[in-house]
Amino acid sequence: MKKSNSLALIPIGVFVIFYLSLGIIFEYVMKIPMGFYNVPVVVAFLIALFVAIIQTKGISFDKKFEIMGQGAGDKNIITMLLIFLLAGIFVGVVGRGSAESVAYFMLSITPPKLAVVVLFIISCFVSTAMGTSVGTITLITPIAVAISEGSGFALPLCVGTVVGGAMFGDNLSFISDTTIAACNGQGCAMKDKFRTNLAIVVPAAIATLALIFALSFSSDVTGGIMKEYDLIQVIPYVLVLICGIIGINVFVTLLVGIISGSIIMTATGVVSFPDLLAGMGSGASGMFETAMVAILVSSLCALIKHNGGFEALLNGIRRVFKGKKSGQLGIGLLVGLMDIATANNTVAIVMANPIATEMAKDFDISPRKTASILDTFSCISQGFLPYGAQILVALSAVTTLGYKLSAFDVIANLFYPMLLLLSSLIFMFFIPDKKKSK
């Protein structure tokens, strides 16, 4: 019999209280911009880890480190770390100018009346290619403001459309840290999770396009925007997408992107070779915090599991959720609550992974479906958080350009996350589960 000890969950509570309370104080009391992201998440997890070490009784200090080492040294964690680094290097190589090229090219060939429809498509493509919602919002929000100013579309509609499209790629991209965390945490091939995810995101995206299309034709439009673009820089992104979709190993896929990006960027004179190497280094360094969080969380979870915390949590879940369908909803709510507490969907997935794995075994849910639920629900909750990076970055970009919006102005126009939630519930309760996963 596995031991059950609800007190072993105290370290998670310590982390949530420390992180959430400081974030609220920084953001809403001290009025620090991006207050939640001024709280050092690595320090918060270190404190929680120390609490777990102190809680673990009856074994030597060396044995505690052995348990933590087994958690951090898991094959899936090591794979995740390497993919994080390669994804960071890829983004560092190709830069972000190519994303703007895609945007201005598509706007140049589209009637002004369809500018917001195209804005959503651009945000979906760029976020899927880049694997980052925050990076997409940083790049495309100024274009959204220009469309609103130049065409007459409402600014909240344009900005909400960008944030929604950014969450599309955050959920679906092969190089998104949420996809990497969910797939490796569940031992699921990325192509399997991608194909499962399509059943959720495609209906939501089509419904979003239809809704934006209807709103566009009820708006008074005065004109559009034009700017120069260079499509050759888009090739590395397209290659990564194609390789990922046809099922090529993720390491090979990222290497193809890095090599092709390096050749194109240096051959076209966009960067010099020393600058290219510097970009690789900064891209890899940008993944430092995410990698450290993965290591700390896996070590923390190993101690909590050893002390019976996971078993206690699972016993509580078993009493509330009965059967496969409600079990899937339980996994979604679990990662959603983790995300609300941490305001970071990648951290939420890493924390929820070991518990979700046990729930999937109990409720007979396939790894691909579990990974898809984890990624999707974390992105849904993250998109709606008024203190999440996505909305804060969008508001910051709008303010920099001389305009004013509130978080709730944007949230009211997040059509894609709303429809994604509806599509996810339909997927859970009405779509049969395929047990086998390669």
**Per-residue model confidence as pLDDT tens for the chain (438 residues):** 457 788 888 988 888 888 888 888 887 888 887 677 677 878 888 998 999 999 988 888 889 999 998 888 877 678 777 877 887 788 788 766 666 676 777 777 778 788 889 889 988 988 887 777 877 887 788 788 888 877 778 889 989 999 999 999 888 888 788 888 898 888 888 888 888 888 899 999 999 999 999 988 876 666 666 667 677 877 887 787 787 667 677 788 888 888 988 998 888 887 888 988 988 888 888 778 778 877 888 888 888 888 888 778 778 877 888 788 888 998 998 888 878 766 678 878 887 888 888 888 888 888 999 999 999 999 999 888 876 778 877 887 787 777 878 778 888 899 999 999 999 999 888 776 655 444
| Distant-in-sequence, close-in-space partners of 131: CB < 8 Å, separation ≥ 6 | 87, 91, 169, 170, 173, 174, 175, 176, 177, 179
- How far apart are the two ends of the chain, measured CA to CA in Å? 31
Task: Give the other-Cβ count within 10 Å of 251's Cβ.
Answer: 12
Structure tokens at 402: 């001389």
Separation CA 3–CA 79 (nearest Å):
30
Separation CA 351–CA 335 (nearest Å):
8
Separation CA 166–CA 263 (nearest Å):
28
User: What phi, psi does 80 have (nearest 5°)?
Assistant: -60, -45
Separation CA 374–CA 336 (nearest Å):
8
* Helices 97-108 and 115-130, packing angle to 10 deg: 150
